[in-house]
Amino acid sequence: MAKKTTSKKIQSLIQLGLFVGIILFLNILANARIGGRALYAYLDMTEEKRFTLTRATRGLLEGLDDVVYVKVLLEGEFPAGFRRLQAATQDMLDDFRAVSGFVEYEFENPNQGSVQEINARREELAKDGITPINLRVKGVEGTEERQIYPYAIVYRKNRPLVVNLLENEVPGVPPDLILNNSIALLEYKLANAIQKLALSRKPNILFTKGHGELDGLETADLVKTLREFYEVGRISLDSVVSVGQEAAALIVAKPTRPFSERDKFKIDQYIMNGGKVLWLLDKVRVDLDSMRGRSSYYPNEYDLNLDDLLFRYGVRIQPDLVLDVQCSRIPLATGMVGNAPQFDYFRYPYHLVVTPRADHPIVKSLGPLNLFYPSIIDTSVAVGQGIERTVLLESSPNSRLQFLPVEMNFEFLRTDLQEEKFNKPPQPLAVLMEGAFRSRYENRVTESMLEGLNELGMEFKAASEPTKMIVVADGDIAKNKTNQAQQSFSPLGYNEFERYLFANKDFVVNALEYLLDGQGVIEARGKEVRLRLLDTVRARQEKAFWQSLNILVPLAFLGLFGLGFNWLRRRRYGR
């Protein structure tokens, strides 16, 4: 009997040893990598697939052939929100490493070391445009101020690219939602940085000139940002015989003079050959400067000679003005204090504050934009099959329309806005068009145009390859404020009356990235991480119930397991 008992104990120990060995082997196997690829996988059960990389990101990572090193400056003691951003960043980089063994990362604390070392490090970071945010954190000994760097620096072939992991604050938006948007955009920001560093040469973006477009100083801030990733220049359509594919994209930024048929033909054939165009157009000639010093002003249309071209592609900009209750303010003189005028600020419905509501990657999680005297974009134009139109920006549900001719003045601002008159639904202000477009000059091309093409060894194209273009009914969206005397400029989107930086530049940059993104990495901008908040009222009401449930149910389960185990033992060994 004793030998049988000893034999069973030995057998049980062997079984236990085998079980532990299998668990250890599976654990080692799950963390092993062959050729830089992990041998494990996971099943994403979340509704929005937050833990699943997009197909474009996976393709980008699978195509890596050298090391990408990411230095994340989020290390140290943080408030709960930043610990969540830190953990989400590490999880995202782990997901990247699961696809490609060429991804390496490290977390660094910029505030570690002696005072001299910290100050020297901060100076070096400031040279790269990395500035901390100051937070007041409550501790055991009271409240202290900490500087936090929510940045990552991505290196590839000794080329660095700084990535801001935290989205900008937006008035009226809770910090939790801003943090949630930041986490949702982590995949896009990191993948986009890797994609940009992979380019052997920068794509060319060309602004058209010769038709009264925005000049160099008026687009200086936008160009400064674009030059980090693109070659930026200007092209006079009169001085070239054609626009070649060396131009990755054209920007037509607020022209004020008409385009000749030859210039339109060059743009048309550029599009027919797969070119991308960002149209930033004003339809009505009006701005604050034109109204200054006048009791009233009657605006008229810009004669740009582009209506037939845009109509052929699928949109029409109407000769009207969109007004909105959701708007920014302007100062008006209301009296005199001594010899100096006294100014008050009034809501000005011609200066719209547009909050993107579309789910498209260009505008997903984007802050509000400031548009000036925009017009409606009519998307009811009949086009051939295969053209997809997406409204990117639109006014609020409390809009109003004014059709030319209309008298404009500031007298209506002396009283509160009559919101009952703003009863129009949202109006389209920016539209993306994708597909194969038909040429405006199909069956209309002249002999001189054909001769010019023949001399270049080119053929006339009546239909385009699949391509994209974006039309925005406000040319000022790309215009920064300037000081001509000092040849200086303000950041694009900054409203000095509101003292707020609107997301105009982010929109234009996102639009260009979408037009030029051949791999589809920008698709990751559309990912959503939903913030599921706790119902605090219900939690307080049901607190006792859930506490009891969490304590009693495990104990009851343990008791039942004990009773069942003893019953089985007695039944098995009681005979």
The answer to whether the beta carbons of residues 256 and 288 sit under 8 Å apart is no
Question: What does the domain layout of the chain look like in residue ranges?
Answer: 33-196, 202-526
Q: How do residues 48-106 score in pLDDT, each as one tens digit?
A: 566 678 888 888 888 888 899 999 988 877 777 788 888 889 988 988 888 888 899 99
Residue 46: how many CA atoms within 13 Å on its side-chain side? 14
The answer to whether the beta carbons of residues 478 and 252 sit under 8 Å apart is no
Cα dihedral value 451, 452, 457, 463, nearest 10 = -90
Average pLDDT over residues 243-257: 92
Give the contacts of 316 (CB within 8 A, at least 6 positions apart).
307, 310, 377, 378, 381
**Across-strand partners of 467?**
435
pLDDT for the residue numbered 461? 87
For CA atoms 267, 269, 271, 274, give the dihedral sign: negative
- Helical H runs in 346-417? none
C-alpha to C-alpha distance for 330 and 408, rounded to whole angstroms: 15
The tokens of 305 are what?
């000679």
The answer to whether the beta carbons of residues 333 and 414 sit under 8 Å apart is no
In 3D space, the residue among 230, 268, 273 whose CA is nearest the CA of residue 252 turns out to be 268
C-alpha to C-alpha distance for 350 and 287, rounded to whole angstroms: 10
> How many C-beta neighbours within 10 Å does residue 454 have?
11
C-alpha to C-alpha distance for 529 and 453, rounded to whole angstroms: 51
Most confident of 120-129, 194-203, 246-255, 286-295: 246-255
Cα 325–chain centre separation: 25
**Residue 297 gets which letter from DSSP?**
B
Confidence of residue 263 (pLDDT cuts 50, 70, 90): very high
The answer to whether the beta carbons of residues 435 and 397 sit under 8 Å apart is no
pLDDT for the residue numbered 434? 93
Q: How far is CA 142 from CA 135, 138, 571, in A?
A: 14, 6, 64
Average pLDDT over residues 535-564: 80
pLDDT for the residue numbered 505? 93
In 3D space, the residue among 69, 78, 229 whose CA is nearest the CA of residue 152 turns out to be 69
The tokens of 432 are what?
């993306």
Confidence of residue 444 (pLDDT cuts 50, 70, 90): confident
Classify domain 33-196 by CATH architecture. 3-Layer(aba) Sandwich (3.40)
For CA atoms 19, 20, 24, 25, give the dihedral sign: negative
Average pLDDT over residues 488-511: 91
pLDDT for the residue numbered 75? 83
The per-residue pLDDT of the chain, averaged, comes to 84
C-alpha to C-alpha distance for 35 and 100, rounded to whole angstroms: 9
pLDDT for the residue numbered 141? 58
pLDDT for the residue numbered 388? 92
In 3D space, the residue among 306, 221, 309, 319 whose CA is nearest the CA of residue 256 turns out to be 306
Q: How do residues 3-48 score in pLDDT, each as one tens digit?
A: 556 666 677 677 777 777 887 777 666 555 554 455 555 555 555 5
In 3D space, the residue among 336, 354, 276 whose CA is nearest the CA of residue 513 turns out to be 276
Q: How far is CA 208 from CA 62, 143, 491, in A?
A: 38, 54, 22
Q: What is the CA radius of gyration of the chain?
A: 31
Q: How do residues 191-227 score in pLDDT, each as one tens digit?
A: 888 888 887 788 899 999 999 999 999 999 999 999 9
**Across-strand partners of 128?**
none
129-163 burial, b if ≥16 CB within 10 A, otherwise e? Answer: ebebeeeeeeeeeeeeebebbbbbbbbbeeeebeb
Q: How do residues 365-404 score in pLDDT, each as one tens digit?
A: 788 999 999 999 999 888 777 789 999 999 999 999 999 8
The answer, yes or no, to whether residue 504 has pLDDT greater than 50, is: yes
Prediction pTM value: 0.78
pLDDT for the residue numbered 358? 86
Phi, psi for residue 426 in degrees, rounded to 5:
-55, 135
Q: How do residues 150-188 score in pLDDT, each as one tens digit?
A: 899 999 888 888 888 887 765 555 677 777 778 888 888
C-alpha to C-alpha distance for 347 and 324, rounded to whole angstroms: 10
The tokens of 293 are what?
């010093």
